[in-house]
């Protein structure tokens, strides 16, 4: 073929041409099958590798796949044209136009053949199919909702960040509270996780809050740039700032600061260098802060337009409007009353979810419309919308319980059990149960569920404080400085007329001598540095119902003036350094709750003191005196045999919950003498036995036991008659509430009895030198028929194994671990493998911490298990 194409061809000419085109095409079709196999083999290997953490296909493989896909498309197109061109050649091709078309097709076939050969060679030459992904610059943050109506702001902010111009280094997002600034900033953070084109080394996230905790912000920065908490433990604020400056000066970084209130917030003081190429993005409620922070670019985050607000309102409420024709229009009116504020739309929309009667909607619109008229400026309009959810609560007790949560620091997780104890001591739960309150507040979106804790959104918290101090000032009135870096307590005049005081998580070292405080019912001084309280401090607190000194480790004694607290219901001394209780505590005749847990240095409690609290309902003494031997003297109920203590506790007729530490075999014997105590024990710590007077069944039948700690005790004698006793155990429904077990005993061989702890969430096995396995298959097989489906560790969340030098295995077979979150392993040199396979904790990630060098020695069940688990153990921190 070539030159001048004749208008007439003979059969002798057509045959070679037909043979050539058909032959070349056949080669391509045949090669395509081999080629497809080569491509699929490579793709399968790459996709399997990409299932492992931090692994991706190489750029050369990625581009080769793209070229192959384009080639396959072209081959398929040639296949469709092939029959037509062959038919033309067979008919003789009398038309020059037909011959030109056939000539062109032949050239395309020839080119495709060369391209297939070239692609096959390129694929065979690729040595590295996948590679390890470098550490991400940013850590993804969970976002509560999608962005509605604010996509353009996100896009403009992102363009400013990736723009390398020097004059766009500081970017401010401002707008009223609850308008969506935090959500936008989280989306900015997460774009760094998905956009691989940015050129930043590290992205740092920190929450500033209304009262900035500068040390915490430094820790947030330090954690992201490689400084551990231990390395900074003894360093001053200035030394940490120097470390931050030296590190960030050599990096291109993005610092995301959420919720700046104080316009005097100083980045340089923190140690943050302001150099070319790095970016700082912050959110604030005040436009003026952008100027004072010297923002090069600022964006207003404003309210949503009506159509976007309606879209968000429907999304959060999940409305279908099928129940009544009027509800759609009423819902639109309700959405418009939120004035485009995302937080109000979320709160109100979720509060109205499930409302099926027009009368409910009309009433709700009337309430929200009325409350909005009370406020003039934007901030108060925001709070008034949030106040709607507060006003919608069905009972006064619910409102009081909600306001009480405002006493805790911003962003804190509040233990549900502790919170309900506070509510009970304050008298809020006389006609309603604590779990009912929690459920109602979570459903109303005023508290957020967090496992064993709840959280309060900072805007809801601001609303509650505003309500207490403005709307219900006569009834409530709070003094809240929780989570603020204070070394001195507020001035005495600030205490006057206040009902509830919270100075939690501060650095207060001393208290005012005699505050004038005739009304207070609550005083929360948790986690401060108080060393001493003067005898006169409590003299004006006769109406106080709740006092918490928890976490003041430097406080070694209580003032005798504490006897003034004659109305006190709740006294929390846990985690303090108190060494003894004064006789003057006998004056607290109304005490219902006493917490002495983790008062490790406690060595003396006077006789007849505990028994004098005739109204006591909760007594917590877990690890009380754990680090300090009791003073052996007459009149001290803290003794090794614990006989006097048990007798006094037994006298408390209203007592319904205790936690105890027992330090001797005599103490265990005395504990077992009082069946009432066995029935109300929630947590038990036992240590230093020479013999074992406590039988397996004794512990198994502690119906309310949630936590069990056994230290330095002789568990070797805790032999179980697996054929005679287990049937009784199974019939009695043992360990139904036990959730946390800590074993610290050198001579235990196995802990097979844990198979009966069906609700176990946390297990720690420390310094058990003789133990060889946790669960013995041989022992379980003896009772397998009685046990039915085993479901070992079905609710376990945390497993800790340490100092077990002879431990070979946890269990013979892999376990599903549907709730497991973390495994901690160290100093277990004979441990051969973890009981995990590719199905363990399916759909979730198990964090494994321990000695990094041990990882490769641990056997995995199969390759799929190795792919499913992290690439190595995280260092023990």
Confidence of residue 24 (pLDDT cuts 50, 70, 90): low
Residue 55 has pLDDT above 80, yes or no: no
| Rounded Cα distance, 256 and 278, in Å | 11
Query: How confident is the model at residue 687, as a pLDDT?
Result: 79
Query: How confident is the model at residue 14, as a pLDDT?
Result: 47
| Rounded Cα distance, 156 and 172, in Å | 12
| Rounded Cα distance, 808 and 161, in Å | 53
Query: How confident is the model at residue 334, as a pLDDT?
Result: 82
| Rounded Cα distance, 358 and 260, in Å | 42
Please compute the mean of the pLDDT values over residues 62-66 and round it to a whole number: 83
Q: What CATH number was assigned to the domain covering residues 304-392?
A: 1.10.8
Provide the angle, in degrees to the nearest 10, between the axes of the packed helices 416-426 and 434-443.
110
Whether the pTM exceeds 0.75: the reply is: no
Query: How confident is the model at residue 30, as a pLDDT?
Result: 61
Residue 376 has pLDDT above 70, yes or no: no
Query: How confident is the model at residue 13, as a pLDDT?
Result: 45
| Rounded Cα distance, 37 and 414, in Å | 57
Residue 167 has pLDDT above 80, yes or no: no
Dump pLDDT digits (tens) for 400-452.
999 999 999 988 999 999 999 999 999 999 778 999 999 888 877 688 888 89
Please indicate whether residue 140 or residue 16 has the higher confidence score (pLDDT). 140
Please compute the mean of the pLDDT values over residues 764-780 and round it to a whole number: 88
Residue 670 has pLDDT above 80, yes or no: yes
Confidence of residue 868 (pLDDT cuts 50, 70, 90): low
Helix residue spans in 392-488 (DSSP H): 396-405, 416-426, 434-443, 458-466
Residue 476 has pLDDT above 70, yes or no: yes
What are the residue ranges spanned by the domains of the chain?
11-132, 151-300, 304-392, 689-877
> Which strand ranges, in their side-by-side order, compose the sheet holding 448-450?
413-415, 453-455, 448-450
Residue 609 has pLDDT above 90, yes or no: yes
Please compute the mean of the pLDDT values over residues 579-587 and round it to a whole number: 95
Q: Is 762 exposed, middle or buried (0-12, 13-18, 19+ CB in 10 A)?
A: middle
Residue 861 has pLDDT above 60, yes or no: no
Please compute the mean of the pLDDT values over residues 773-798 and round it to a whole number: 78
Lowest mean pLDDT, pick from 546-555, 652-661, 791-800:
791-800
Nearest to 439 by CA among 402, 470, 471: 402
Residue 98 has pLDDT above 70, yes or no: no
Confidence of residue 371 (pLDDT cuts 50, 70, 90): very low
Lowest mean pLDDT, pick from 23-32, 204-213, 258-267, 557-566:
23-32
Residue 386 has pLDDT above 60, yes or no: yes
Please compute the mean of the pLDDT values over residues 293-322 and round it to a whole number: 85
Residue 864 has pLDDT above 80, yes or no: no
Residue pointed to by tokens 């085993």? 790
Q: What is the DSSP string of 182-224?
A: HHHHHHHHHHHHH-TT---SEEEEEEEETTT-HHHHHHHHHHH
Please indicate whether residue 20 or residue 110 has the higher confidence score (pLDDT). 110
Dump pLDDT digits (tens) for 619-651.
999 999 888 766 667 788 888 788 899 999 999
Residue 286 has pLDDT above 80, yes or no: no
Residue 301 has pLDDT above 80, yes or no: yes
Residue 835 has pLDDT above 60, yes or no: yes
Dump pLDDT digits (tens) for 702-737.
888 999 998 876 666 555 665 555 666 666 567 788
Residue 579 has pLDDT above 90, yes or no: yes
Half-sphere exposure of 182 (CA within 13 A, CB side): 20
| Rounded Cα distance, 84 and 102, in Å | 9
* Homologous superfamily in CATH for domain 151-300: P-loop containing nucleotide triphosphate hydrolases (3.40.50.300)
Please indicate whether residue 279 or residue 849 has the higher confidence score (pLDDT). 279
Lowest mean pLDDT, pick from 222-231, 242-251, 546-555, 652-661:
222-231
Query: How confident is the model at residue 872, as a pLDDT?
Result: 43
| Rounded Cα distance, 93 and 21, in Å | 14
Query: How confident is the model at residue 238, as a pLDDT?
Result: 93
Dump pLDDT digits (tens) for 332-358.
988 887 778 788 788 878 888 878 888
Confidence of residue 572 (pLDDT cuts 50, 70, 90): very high
| Rounded Cα distance, 266 and 262, in Å | 9
Going by their DSSP bridges, the two strands 130-132 and 55-57 should be labelled as antiparallel
Mean per-residue pLDDT of the chain: 81
Per this entry, what is the length of the chain? 877
Confidence of residue 276 (pLDDT cuts 50, 70, 90): confident
Please compute the mean of the pLDDT values over residues 73-101 and round it to a whole number: 61
Residue 6 has pLDDT above 50, yes or no: no
Using only C-alpha atoms, the chain has a radius of gyration, in whole angstroms, of 36
Please indicate whether residue 534 or residue 322 has the higher confidence score (pLDDT). 534
Cβ proximity of 517 and 540 under 8 Å: yes
Half-sphere exposure of 538 (CA within 13 A, CB side): 26
Paired residues of 131 in beta bridges: 56
Dump pLDDT digits (tens) for 217-244.
999 998 888 787 777 888 899 999 999 9
Please compute the mean of the pLDDT values over residues 300-304 and round it to a whole number: 84
| Rounded Cα distance, 646 and 658, in Å | 11
Confidence of residue 834 (pLDDT cuts 50, 70, 90): confident
Choose from 94-98, 598-602, 633-637 the range with maximum mean pLDDT.
598-602
For the chain, percent of residues with pLDDT exceeding 90? 31
Residue 693 has pLDDT above 90, yes or no: no
């Amino acid at each position: 073929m070539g030159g001048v194409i004749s208008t007439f061809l003979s059969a002798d000419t057509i045959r070679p041409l037909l043979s050539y085109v058909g032959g070349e095409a056949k080669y391509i079709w045949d090669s395509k099958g081999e080629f497809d196999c080569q491509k699929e083999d490579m793709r399968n290997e790459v996709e399997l590798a990409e299932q492992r953490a931090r692994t991706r296909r190489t750029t050369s493989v990625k581009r080769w796949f793209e070229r192959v896909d384009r080639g396959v498309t072209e081959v398929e197109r040639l296949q469709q044209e092939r029959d037509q061109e062959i038919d033309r050649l067979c008919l003789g091709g009398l038309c020059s136009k037909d011959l030109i078309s056939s000539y062109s097709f032949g050239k395309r076939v020839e080119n495709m053949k060369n391209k297939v050969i070239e692609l096959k060679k390129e694929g065979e030459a690729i040595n590295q199919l996948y590679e390890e992904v470098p550490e991400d610059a940013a850590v993804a943050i969970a976002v509560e909702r999608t962005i509605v109506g604010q996509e353009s702001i996100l896009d403009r902010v992102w363009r400013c960040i990736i723009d390398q111009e020097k004059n766009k280094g500081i970017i401010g997002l401002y707008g009223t509270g609850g308008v969506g600034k935090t959500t936008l900033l989280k989306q900015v953070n997460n774009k760094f996780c998905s956009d691989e084109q940015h050129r930043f080394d590290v992205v740092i996230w920190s929450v500033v809050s209304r009262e900035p905790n500068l040390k915490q912000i430094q820790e947030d920065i330090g954690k992201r740039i490689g400084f551990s908490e231990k390395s900074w433990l003894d360093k001053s604020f200035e030394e940490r700032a120097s470390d931050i400056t030296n590190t960030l000066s050599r990096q291109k970084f993005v610092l995301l600061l959420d919720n700046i209130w104080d316009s005097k917030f100083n980045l340089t003081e923190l140690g943050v260098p302001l150099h070319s190429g790095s970016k700082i993005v912050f959110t604030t409620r005040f436009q003026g802060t952008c100027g004072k922070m010297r923002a090069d670019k600022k964006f207003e985050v404003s309210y949503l337009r009506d159509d976007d607000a309606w879209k968000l309102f429907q999304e959060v409420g999940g409305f279908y409007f099928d129940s009544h024709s009027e509800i759609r229009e009423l819902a639109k009116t309700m959405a418009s009353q939120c004035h485009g504020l995302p937080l109000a739309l979320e709160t109100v929309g979720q509060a109205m979810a499930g409302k099926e009667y027009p009368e409910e909607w009309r009433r709700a619109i009337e309430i929200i419309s009325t409350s909005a008229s009370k406020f003039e400026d934007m901030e108060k309009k925001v709070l008034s919308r949030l106040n709607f959810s507060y006003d919608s609560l069905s009972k006064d007790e619910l409102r009081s319980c909600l306001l009480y949560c405002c006493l805790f620091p911003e962003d804190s997780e509040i233990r549900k059990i502790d919170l309900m104890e506070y509510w009970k001591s304050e008298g809020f739960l006389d006609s309603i149960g604590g779990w009912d309150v929690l459920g109602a507040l979570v459903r109303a979106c005023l508290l957020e569920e967090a496992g064993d804790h709840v959280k309060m959104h900072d805007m809801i918290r601001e609303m509650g404080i505003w309500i207490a101090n403005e709307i219900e000032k006569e009834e409530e009135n709070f003094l809240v400085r929780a989570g603020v870096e204070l070394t001195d307590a507020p001035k005495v005049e600030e205490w006057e007329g206040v009902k509830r005081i919270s100075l939690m998580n501060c650095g207060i070292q001393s208290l005012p001598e005699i505050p004038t405080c005739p009304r207070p019912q609550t005083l929360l001084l948790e986690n401060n540095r108080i060393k001493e309280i003067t005898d006169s401090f409590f003299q004006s607190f006769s109406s106080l119902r709740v006092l918490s000194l928890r976490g003041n480790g430097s406080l070694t004694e209580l003032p005798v003036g504490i006897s003034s607290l004659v109305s006190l219901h709740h006294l929390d001394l846990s985690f303090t350094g108190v060494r003894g209780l004064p006789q003057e505590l006998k004056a607290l005749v109304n005490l219902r709750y006493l917490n002495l847990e983790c008062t490790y240095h406690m060595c003396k409690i006077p006789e007849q003191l505990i028994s004098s609290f005739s109204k006591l309902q909760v007594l917590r003494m877990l690890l009380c005196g754990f680090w300090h031997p009791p003073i052996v003297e007459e009149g001290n109920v803290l003794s090794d045999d614990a006989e006097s203590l048990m007798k006094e506790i037994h006298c408390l007729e209203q007592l319904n919950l205790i936690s105890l530490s027992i330090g001797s075999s005599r103490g265990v014997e005395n504990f077992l003498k009082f069946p009432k105590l066995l029935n109300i024990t929630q947590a038990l710590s036992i240590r230093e036995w020479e013999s074992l007077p406590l039988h397996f069944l004794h512990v198994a039948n502690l119906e309310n036991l949630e936590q069990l700690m056994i230290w330095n005790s002789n568990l070797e004698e805790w032999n179980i008659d697996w054929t005679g006793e287990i049937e009784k155990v199974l019939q009695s429904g043992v360990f139904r509430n036990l959730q946390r077990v800590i074993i610290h005993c050198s001579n235990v061989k196995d802990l097979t009895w844990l198979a009966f702890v069906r609700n176990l969430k946390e297990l720690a096995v420390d310094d058990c030198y003789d133990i060889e396995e946790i669960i013995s298959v041989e022992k379980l097989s003896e009772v397998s028929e009685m046990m039915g489906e085993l479901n070992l560790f079905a609710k376990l969340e945390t497993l800790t194994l340490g100092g077990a030098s002879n431990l070979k295995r946890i269990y013979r077979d892999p376990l599903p671990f549907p709730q497991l979150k973390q495994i901690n392993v160290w100093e277990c040199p004979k441990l051969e493998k973890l009981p995990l396979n590719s199905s363990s904790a399916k759909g979730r990630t198990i964090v494994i911490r321990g000695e990094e060098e041990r990882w490769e020695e641990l056997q995995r069940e199969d390759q799929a298990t190795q792919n499913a688990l992290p690439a190595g153990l995280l260092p023990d921190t």
